[in-house]
Amino acid sequence: MDKIEALRAGFLNQIQAPKLETAEEREPQKFSETLGQLLDQVDELQQKAGKATEDFLSGNGGNLHEVMALGQEAQLSFQLMLEIRNKLVEAYQELSRMPV
């Protein structure tokens, strides 16, 4: 029984909770960098969907389900990007209407 307890204690010591980064530990990322990364991701998804569609239509492989899923993913990411843009424009317009 002591051997089992020793093994259990040894395994428990090896298991550690993952270290979570707090806001103070992470370097702040500029909003423009975050927006640029989002644009790059949307562009990458659009290109992947376009390539998959071209490959499917030319008969080079791929199945319809994958092509449609990639197309929907690209469309949703683009719609999200448009909504973010609309909210940014709306916020800018609201700020510009404020009296100084």
Give dist(CA 13, CA 87) in Å, integer.
49
Query: Is the pLDDT score of 97 beyond 80?
Result: yes
Report pTM: 0.65
Query: Is the pLDDT score of 87 beyond 80?
Result: yes
Query: Is the pLDDT score of 72 beyond 70?
Result: yes
> Hey, what are 75's tokens?
């469309």
Instruction: Dihedral sign for Cα 75, 81, 84, 86, please.
Output: negative
Low-confidence winner among 2-6, 44-48, 53-57, 81-85 (lowest mean pLDDT): 2-6
Low-confidence winner among 9-13, 32-36, 38-42, 51-55 (lowest mean pLDDT): 9-13
